[in-house]
Amino acid sequence: MKTNDLEKMKNVIHSYDLSKVMDAFKTSHPEYDAAKIARIETEFRRFFEVCGSSDLKYGTIDTIDELLHTFILFTRDYVDFCDKAFGEYLHHTPMSIEKEPKLPIMYIRFLIDYARTFKQYPPFDIWPLSQDLFGKPGESGPDGCEVVSDCFICSDCFIGSDCYIDKG
């Protein structure tokens, strides 16, 4: 769902008080230290920014999906956030690959658009599969070429050897 006023949307997303939501999430994840919780919150906000900047449907998994479920439990806050950021309620429909075979594609599309939006790779420890999709900058890809950190510039699709520069 693409919003018309991107600056307003970004401001709401990055300034909205998520302290109650994050406190609830922290309680269910004592294994995460304060730094990890802060990074998860940043990535959660970035997820909404990518979603609000496009008409595409995206998938999310693992930690960010769990945090989204936690946010939705704070119904009034979630509705208020959606209204202020997007002008409408953002529905979340839990899916499985069995019911929605395109789910992996929706998630990969998100990872690609994340890289385009923020000009960096999604953090591997928070966004599973992003390392499999992009590789690690400085390492060699399957074709012997070096992975470049600005892969999002060299390829429209991100997938394949277009994301490598031949150093030979």
Q: pLDDT tens digits, residue range 11-52? A: 999 999 999 999 999 999 999 999 999 999 999 999 999 989
Partners of 146 in beta bridges: 140, 165
Neighbours of 73 (CB within 10 A): 10
127 shares a domain with 168: no
Alpha-carbon distance of 164 to 6, in angstroms, equals 32
126 shares a domain with 85: yes
147 shares a domain with 108: no
| Rg (alpha carbons) of the chain, rounded to whole number | 17
146 shares a domain with 90: no
Please indicate whether residue 153 or residue 67 has the higher confidence score (pLDDT): 67
pLDDT class for 58, splitting at 50, 70, 90?
Answer: confident
168 shares a domain with 127: no
157 shares a domain with 128: no
pLDDT for position 147: 42
117 shares a domain with 78: yes
Q: Please count the structural domains in the chain.
A: 2
Among residues 154, 152, 153, the alpha carbon closest in space to that of 166 is found at: 154
Q: pLDDT tens digits, residue range 63-119? A: 898 999 999 999 999 999 999 999 988 776 665 555 655 667 778 888 889 989 998
86 shares a domain with 154: no
92 shares a domain with 18: yes
126 shares a domain with 80: yes
How many CA within 13 A on the CB side of residue 126?
Answer: 22
Partners of 165 in beta bridges: 146
User: What sections of 1-102 are H helices per DSSP?
Assistant: 6-15, 19-28, 34-52, 62-73, 75-86
Task: Please answer whether residues 83 and 89 qualify as being in contact, where contact means their C-beta atoms are separated by less than 8 angstroms.
Answer: yes
Helix (H, G, I), strand (E, B) or coil at 49: helix
153 shares a domain with 129: no
164 shares a domain with 99: no
Torsion angle of alpha carbons 19, 20, 25, 29, nearest 10°?
A: 80
For residue 104, the enclosing domain spans 1-134
Please indicate whether residue 5 or residue 163 has the higher confidence score (pLDDT): 5
